[in-house]
Amino acid sequence: MFKDSKYVISITNLKDSPNKQYLNEFVFIGRSNVGKSSFINALTNKKILAKTSSKPGKTKTLNFFLIDETFYLVDAPGYGYASTGVDQRVKFGSIIEDYLRNNQCLKAAFLLIDFKVGPTKDDLLMFEFLKFLRMKIIIVCTKTDKIGVTLRKKYQNNILNKLQLNESSVILTSSVSKLGIDKVVEIIGSCNLGE
Ligand SMILES: Nc1nc2c(ncn2[C@@H]2O[C@H](COP(=O)(O)OP(=O)(O)OP(=O)(O)O)[C@@H](O)[C@H]2O)c(=O)[nH]1
Ligand SMILES: [Mg+2]
């Protein structure tokens, strides 16, 4: 677990990034309501570090959290939800795209996929885009607590098929039961050391 975590800033323009010392960054991407903000709270063991909501579209900015004074976790706005209007949707899309394209500090992208829903069309597009950018991608399945243990293999296989990945490349997690949180902490730790 990380020792110290603090919210730093929410930005809508990359020039306002707080990362002037070129610390490593790790971003959490996924559709609205997939559980990105909840996941950051679970990782940092804080209930309200990142604001969550049952209504999709809560996170509308790139939110920076400084961890142990050594790297940033970045909470991204969700994609694929139209309730905020088409223009907003395009705008959110472009700040994420800018952020992903022009960022030497970004060491890995965690792509969150709702375990029960499986990869949506938007998830598949984002996955392709991250591959195109040659980003280190970690697939995190969220809300696995909603599926009984015996059915999990079936849901996992569906996701693996759609992404054309093998078993070892997805992590099953839950911000409620805390399943998989330790694995993600470990991955961030080793990426941060440059492994
Ligand atoms: N059962 C269950 N519910 C979860 C889990 N993680 C998040 N949720 C719920 O899912 C809803 C959305 O969570 P958020 O963390 O706000 O989702 P988000 O991806 O940040 O959403 P946006 O900011 O709108 O893009 C909230 O009602 C959470 O309580 C989980 O692991 N299990
Ligand atoms: Mg959020």
CATH topology of domain 5-192: Rossmann fold (3.40.50)
Supply the pTM of this predicted model: 0.92
What are the contacts of 159-165 at 24+ separation with CB within 8 A? Answer: 159/113, 159/115, 159/118, 159/119, 162/118, 162/119, 162/124, 163/119, 163/124, 163/127, 163/139, 165/139
Domain boundaries, the chain: 5-192
Pocket of ligand 1, candidates 52, 65, 123, 174: which has the most ligand atoms within 8 Å of its Cβ, to mutate?
52
Q: Tell me the pLDDT tens digit for each residue of 133-178.
A: 999 999 999 999 999 999 999 999 999 999 999 888 899 999 999 9
Cβ < 6 A, ligand 1 pocket: 30, 32-38, 52-54, 56-59, 77-78, 142-143, 145-146, 174-176
Report, as an integer, the average pLDDT of 120-142.
94
